[in-house]
Chain A
């Protein structure tokens, strides 16, 4: 029986038969359907996915005309910091514009949390002004809500992850409610400065990383900024395919945030006046790439089906079906790229 080269969820190469791939694809979809209540993928979707997964080419691409737009989180962290290339952020932005030919780019700081940026917002705004003078491509400014940073010893609040195991539920809930207020204020403050400096957009990245308080803070900030700056684009990237209910009762515009899957997440993002929803489906490293990609597509397609705004998919290391490896294998990355857009019907990545 013919074997096809594919990957495990941690990036390790593995040879599987078409039937084994099909079994994993079906199991991945089933996980999204049963746990996330997504609609099933169609037979055509499944056959197309198996075709992409078993293509003999090392790297693949979308068919002509199916291209989507590319956005970035941690944009200017990738070349100057993670890859260690001695270049400043302006050079990184122009490298993306003129060498990599990215459709958009994100300027950000090494300390990728809005709370930390408050202290250096004037310098960040100046950097944005300079970037806007020199670049043609749209530039976002981005960071994470990171409400966990408002807890002791980094912040003023008691830590709810310490309070909850002690049974101090009310105190944990109150601390998170205070964190929402502090974090949304900081995001509005930083976002306002960057918008006034000419940023094309503000990105709230990894929203919900600290649970439902984290996403609520970002939604409040997005709502304020989108009404204050009508020409400013707001992109909201999630942390997970499922908002953790660290508080459990927090609501935005009448909708409970804990437990939201992508099809509900995108509606909350729309309600905040944001323009782009960034769908995140985390990779399970103990499952295969076919399992993870199939599961991701099911979640993405469920969000696209109900979305009135564009849906872009986070497709880096450990999300969007891509193996959890710092150096994502290009065979997996390009297959995920093609499948998320052509089957998931995403507007971009």
Chain B
């Protein structure tokens, strides 16, 4: 219920990306600004599912609907780590292997 009432929208929008920055200890508004700057969009766009669908598809970082040839799971996270300029533990583990 909270997802609909006050959540960012996960991979439907930029919720997972903002969450990754909050998980690093960034306050919410700083995290939103950071992600928007990295994606080259406005903070408002981050929770607009139509705008974010286009952005996520163009960056190939995973969308709600599976598409032929598009990145999913780990492949998408490798790109997310690169775009956000962060280290994602499972992506780093993958590199070592």
Contact = CB atoms under 8 A, between A and B. Distances in A.
Given A138-B16, A198-B93, A310 B26 contact: yes
Contacts of A198: 89-90, 93-94
A25 interface: no
Contacts of B18: 69, 103
Contacts of B8: 67-70, 103
Interface residues of B, number: 46
The prevalent SS among residues of B at the interface is: helix
B28 A310 contact: yes
The prevalent SS among residues of A at the interface is: loop
Interface string A115-138: 000000000000001001111111
A137 B10 contact: yes
Given A103-B8, A136-B73, A199 B3 contact: no
Contacts of B74: 132-134
Nearest to A349: B2
Contacts of B28: 68-69, 310, 347-348
Interface of A: 59-62, 64-71, 96-98, 100-104, 129, 132-138, 195-201, 229, 231-233, 235, 275-276, 309-310, 315, 328, 330, 333-334, 337-338, 340-341, 347-349
22 contacts: A62-B6, A65-B43, A66-B6, A69-B18, A69-B22, A98-B11, A101-B13, A101-B15, A102-B7, A103-B3, A104-B19, A133-B90, A136-B72, A136-B73, A136-B80, A137-B10, A197-B93, A310-B27, A315-B2, A334-B1, A334-B4, A349-B2
